[in-house]
A and B are shown apart, each in its own frame.
Chain A
Amino acid sequence: MSGEILEQLKARLLDLDMDGAVELAELVAGGDVRIADAVNAISEGLEVVGQRFQRGEWFLTELVYAGEIARETMDLLSPLMETASSGPLGTVVVGTVAGDLHDLGKDIFINYARSAGFKLIDLGVDVPAEGFVSAVKEHHPLALGMSCLLTTTDSEIGKVIEGLKRQNVRDKVKVIIGGAALTEQFAENAGADAFAPDAVTGTDIIRGWGAS
């Protein structure tokens, strides 16, 4: 019975059935199924969502909506988890660099990474280099994510990394960057740890850092 509910929960997520998934999460919350097993089922579902996105079978609307379903169900289940296992996978500080007011890519990443279990600190758009550095010092995140759509502002990424070095926190945080203006090569030249072409890849990379 328990196994069937867990399979159903995962299936409702992958059918993009919000009502069905929430109904099952409520059933789990009031029944005998282990909460941790239900949370794992949702995580497994999200992994399939990410794979479908990366294979080009699903697009941003499906990715975002699946993230919303996962968030709604997790909101019901997380408060019921044992303290030891209820913490987020890690904290990620995210913002769009100074001079750039675009937030769509950043927001999609936040939506997906949050539903995958990370705690996200959103610094917003047009964030000056010192804003990123202060947030790293304050929140001690696992990763710092910077979004940059414009070629005109990509130099800001180097300024932030220099700022982290000056404040002696560069080796305490992984830096990941994404956005239309950026490439793998740019990330390497700027001294970032990784470039993410999309939200799913970015989340996978940070999950890998968390695991190691």
Chain B
Amino acid sequence: MDFKERILTAINHEEPDRVPVMGLILDRATSDRVLGKKPADIGSMLSNPELRDEIKDYMNSSWNDMYYGSWADVLEAAIKLGFDANWTVYAFMQAVEDPESKLGLVLHDVFGRVWELGVDEDGNMMSSYVRGLCTTEEEWDAWVERKRPLYDKLIENVADYHKRLADNYGDRILPIGFAGSGVFENTWQPMGFVNFSKFVYQKPDFVEKVIDFQTDVYLKCLDAVMRSGVEVVLGGDDLSQKTGPFMHPELIERLFGDSYRRVSELVHKRNRKLIWHSCGNIYALLDKFVEWGFDGILTMEPTAGMDLGKVREQVGHKLVLVGNLDVSYLLVRGTQEEVEAAVKKAIRDAAKGGGYILSAAHSHRLVDPTRLKWMIEAAHKYGKYTS
């Protein structure tokens, strides 16, 4: 079997030749180490105001090429490591000066989120959501009106980006196309979580208006990913944190249930499969994922108390499971014996009858390529289906 047959067989809950292995976002530092690349010293450059302006202009004029280049490296690294499939992500952002931010520059995305920039110890730029720009209904309405032309551009970019990756790498690895952050995150993050919590009770019509808007854009992005030739799509919303869901599962159902059902229906209408990513402790949402029509789930963070065997016990073969080797210790500093033992356990817990893809639980800068390689080799060694 080749990588594609292997993944698609597993996703159909049949046993392939061996357990497939999927790469996640692969942090820039990890892909650099695999490819032997050295990062530019972005931190020093951004501390020079003239260079900062140049960097900003470059980022804004060459965003798509820059983003593509970064993910082309991720796929090259994933192929070199031996993954059968890898997550691919597109985001549409603009660099904006912000004297209050540490580096003097932040990113604004089309949905009204601010992403703070930082530089890791290797010199790579990193970004993280910090706040929203639409803290009132009036600000939200004005933002959407102002950015309206960009939503069509976003959808066009999503299609081009995923097609380019699929065309250039699809013969060596299966790209699992991500449609961008999901409707839950796209709803609460532009207003901030405290405001969102207030609006849920005080202005439910406003919240529903935002959800409707985001669902519409999300479905178009998802369709664009599928038009690019991607055969398995990845959706994602961090619906949980370390101890459980952000919201009562029934409130999630009331506000977002229809949106998630529409997402699954669209994917199935296009004869594709939908894997869903959520961080955190998701036990309370597993039945909802099945109800909403998701085909599989990815992550199941051990540090949030998720256990692969327990998840399989709870959902049986109603969901494909993708995960969940620990990235707090195992894939950072674990010994080869420990990595092998964890792979054997994961296979024992979840792989019987297919429906299982081995992966790390998450990704970050210290995930070690050697440990990833051990993980893949262990899957080859211990993941053969004999029946």
Question: Which A residues are closer than 8 A to B by beta carbons?
Answer: 16, 18, 56, 58-62, 64-65, 68, 99-105, 107-108, 111, 125-126, 150-152, 179-181, 183, 197-198
In the complex, the answer to whether B120 meets A64 with C-beta atoms within 8 Å is: no
Which A residues touch B198, using CB under 8 A?
Answer: 18, 64-65, 68
CB-based contact A59/B242 at 8 Å: no
Q: Are A126 and B194 in contact (CB under 8 A)?
A: no
**B194: chain A residues within 8 A (beta carbon):** 64, 68, 107, 111
> B246 near A60 (CB under 8 angstroms)?
yes
How far apart are the CA atoms of A58 and B197 in the complex, in Å? 13
> B334 to chain A: closest CB distance in Å?
13
A151 pairs with B200, CB closer than 8 A: no
CA A99 to CA B201, docked complex, whole Å: 35
Q: Is the CB of B328 within 8 A of A61?
A: no
In whole Å, how far is B132's beta carbon from the nearest beta carbon of chain A?
12
Rounded to whole Å, the gap between the CB of A13 and the closest CB of chain B is 12
CB < 8 Å neighbour of A197 from B116, B127, B243: B243
A89 to chain B, nearest CB (A): 21
Give the residues in chain A near B248, CB-CB below 8 Å.
58-59, 61-62
Chain A binding surface, main DSSP class: loop
Q: Which residues of A contact B70 (CB under 8 A)?
A: none
The reply to whether A107 and B201 form a contact with Cβ atoms under 8 Å apart is no
Q: How would residues 295 to 331 of chain B score, 1 for a CB under 8 Å from any chain A CB and 0 otherwise?
A: 0000001011000000000000000000000011000
Q: Is B290 located at the chain interface by the 8 A CB criterion?
A: no
Interface residue from B120, B128, B242, B303 paired with A102 (Cβ < 8 Å): B128
A107 to chain B, nearest CB (A): 7
- Whether A180 lies near B241 (C-beta < 8 A) is yes
Q: Are A101 and B247 in contact (CB under 8 A)?
A: no
Instruction: Give the Cβ gap from B282 to chain A, nearest Cβ, in Å.
Output: 13
User: Which one, A59, A105, A107, A125, contacts B244 given CB within 8 A?
Assistant: A59
Contact at B120–A68, with CB atoms within 8 Å? no
B331 shortest CB reach to chain A, Å: 10
User: Which chain A residue has the least Cβ–Cβ distance from B192?
Assistant: A107
Residues of A contacting B341 with CB < 8 Å? none
Give every chain B residue within 8 A of A101 (Cβ-Cβ): 116, 118, 126-128, 130
Interface size on B, residues (CB 8 A): 39
With A59-B244, A61-B200, A198-B242 already in contact, the answer to whether A126 and B116 are too (CB < 8 A) is: yes
Contact B193 A104 (CB under 8 A): yes
Assess the B243–A151 pair: CB atoms within 8 A.
no
- Cα–Cα, bound, A23→B303 (Å): 43
Q: List 9 A-B contacts (CB under 8 A).
A: A59-B244, A60-B241, A61-B200, A61-B248, A64-B198, A65-B200, A100-B128, A152-B120, A180-B301
Which residue of B has the minimal Cβ distance to A110? B194
Number of A-B pairs whose CB atoms are under 8 Å? 89
Residues of chain B lying within 8 A (CB to CB) of residue A126 = 102, 116, 118
Which residues of chain A come closer than 8 Å to B365, judged between CB atoms?
Answer: 152
Bound-state CA distance A58–B327 (Å) is 30
Interface residues of B (CB under 8 A from A): 102, 116, 118, 120-121, 126-128, 130-131, 193-194, 196-198, 200-202, 241-248, 251, 279-280, 284, 301, 303-304, 327-328, 332, 364-366
Query: A60 near B193 (CB under 8 angstroms)?
Result: yes
**How many Å lie between the Cα of A125 and that of B115 in the bound state?**
12
Asked if A152 and B366 make an inter-chain contact with CB atoms under 8 angstroms apart, the answer reads yes
In the assembled complex, how far is the CB of residue A105 from the closest CB belonging to chain B, in whole angstroms? Answer: 7
- Known pairs A60-B247, A65-B198 / 6 extra A-B pairs, C-beta < 8 Å: A56-B244, A61-B200, A101-B118, A104-B193, A152-B365, A180-B279
Nearest-CB distance from A59 to chain B (Å)? 5
Give the complex CA separation of A207 and B372 in angstroms.
44
| A residues in contact with B197, CB < 8 Å | 60-62, 64-65, 68
Q: Give A179 to B328 CA distance when docked, in angstroms.
A: 13
Separation of A65 and B196 alpha carbons in the complex (Å): 9
B241 touches A105 (CB 8 A): yes
Q: How far is the CB of A129 from chain B (nearest CB, A)?
A: 14
User: Residue of A at shortest CB range from B238?
Assistant: A104
**Do residues B201 and A18 form an inter-chain contact, with CB atoms below 8 A?**
yes
B121 cross-chain contacts in A, Cβ below 8 A: 99
- By a CB distance below 8 angstroms, the chain B residues around A179 are 242
Q: When the two chains form their complex, are residues B303 and A61 in contact, meaning their CB atoms are under 8 A apart?
A: no
Q: When chains A and B are docked, how far (Å) is the Cα of A125 from the Cα of B103?
A: 13
State whether A99 and B303 are in contact (beta carbons under 8 Å apart), knowing that A60-B241, A152-B364 are contacts in the complex.
Answer: no
Contacts of A99 in B (CB 8 A): 118, 120-121
A198 touches B243 (CB 8 A): yes
Please report the C-alpha to C-alpha distance between residue A50 and residue B303 in the assembled complex, in whole angstroms: 23
Q: Is the CB of A151 within 8 A of B328?
A: yes
Query: Could you say which of B120, B194, B280, B332 has the most chain A C-beta atoms within 10 Å of its C-beta?
Result: B194
- Whole-angstrom CA separation of A102 from B115 in the bound complex: 10
Give the docked Cα–Cα distance between A126 and B332 (Å).
22
Q: Are B116 and A125 in contact (CB under 8 A)?
A: yes
Question: Are A108 and B193 closer than 8 Å at their CB atoms?
Answer: yes
User: Which A-B residue pairs are the 9 nearest by beta carbons?
Assistant: A101-B128, A64-B197, A61-B197, A151-B328, A65-B197, A101-B116, A61-B247, A60-B246, A59-B248
Instruction: Tell me the complex Cα distance, A99–B251, Å.
Output: 34
B130→A59 contact, CB < 8 A? no
Q: Closest CB of chain B to A100's CB: distance in Å?
A: 8
Bound-state CA distance A152–B363 (Å) is 10
